[in-house]
Amino acid sequence: MRRALCFVVISVLLGTGAVAQPEPPAPPSGEAQAVRSTIAALFDGMRAGDSTAVRAVFHEQARLHTALGPSDTAAVRSTPIGAFVRAVGQPRERVWDERVWDVQIQVDGPLANAWVPYAFYRGDELSHCGVNAMQLVRQADGWRILQLTDTRRQDCEVPSDVQK
């Protein structure tokens, strides 16, 4: 009897542990994949120096901001979309290569939020790193970036598979 009781208790405990294991992350939804494609198009356009491609990923009312400084005294700098798009299209010797990893996307109907850690390279030289916090809206022709706010740091811990 005692053995049977011990067997039942152990079985229940082992079974409970199996149930408590976390589920593997679900594959991204079709909408999340579409959002990710818009984000990739931004960085592909930057690498190519293609201002037309970069402009196409932004909503007509889009805004760009950078949060600068220590976390307790951050200042915010705004950049007009037109100025950013023109800068992307300027001829340069070193490619602007923004590499990302661990992109997290949330979608609710026509709104998406993306948290995008990045490392920005000018040619082969690491310039800075940080996070892009993006809000995107779905339009008839696809997802467009409505708001992009980034941070910029020098103390970069870039995963080895993202480094140049």
| DSSP string across 48-107 | HT-HHHHHHTEEEEEEEEEEES-TTS-EEEEE-HHHHHHHHHS--SS-EEEEE-S-EEEE
CATH number for the segment(s) 28-151: 3.10.450.50
Question: What pTM was estimated for this model as a whole?
Answer: 0.80
What 8-state DSSP symbol labels residue 164? -
Report how far residue 82's alpha carbon sits from residue 138's, in angstroms, rounded to the nearest whole number.
21
pLDDT over 60 at 24, yes or no: no
Structure tokens at 5: 């009781």
Q: What is the pLDDT of residues 97-136, one digit of tens each?
A: 999 999 999 999 999 999 999 999 999 999 999 999 999 9
